[in-house]
Homo-oligomer: A and B are copies of this chain.
């Protein structure tokens, strides 16, 4: 059985050694066995586990969710429905966030499109909006 140190593990999983220890503290990684000198020693399954965490992170799961997912993966009695619950909750959170950001981007785009670049800032509808004026001070000729 292949035994590697924290440095090789980190390199294999493309994380920092600090991150490995950090995940151990958070309970995402079990405390590994130690050499006589006190060095952490890992096996290939740990590389797998770290890569799982990386992929989950890249899909927007917070570390708390990832801890749950790891527990479910290791639980022979667990049903896929449990994974689905975590996943659907994440999707819902993402959808909310996307909708919020989209609404903001839309609002900014509309204001930006209405903004004449060469005008003085006093004519700028963006600043006007931020100042709480919902009409341009001199838009009598628009529309």
CA distance A45 to B86 in the complex (A): 48
Q: A98-B105, A104-B60, A108-B94 are in contact. Are A80 and B120 (CB under 8 A)?
A: yes
Chain A contributes a number of interface residues (CB within 8 A of B) equal to 52
What 0/1 pattern do residues 57 to 89 of A give for CB contact below 8 A with B? 001100000000100110110111111100110
CA distance A108 to B94 in the complex (A): 10
A138 CB, min distance to chain B CBs, angstroms: 13
User: A-side binding surface: helix, strand, loop or mixed?
Assistant: helix
| Inter-subunit contact A79/B117 (CB<8 Å) | yes
CA distance A119 to B129 in the complex (A): 53
Which residue numbers of A lie inside 8 Å of B, CB to CB?
Answer: 48, 51-52, 55-56, 59-60, 69, 72-73, 75-76, 78-84, 87-88, 90-91, 94-95, 97-98, 101-102, 104-105, 107-109, 111-112, 115-124, 126-127, 129-132
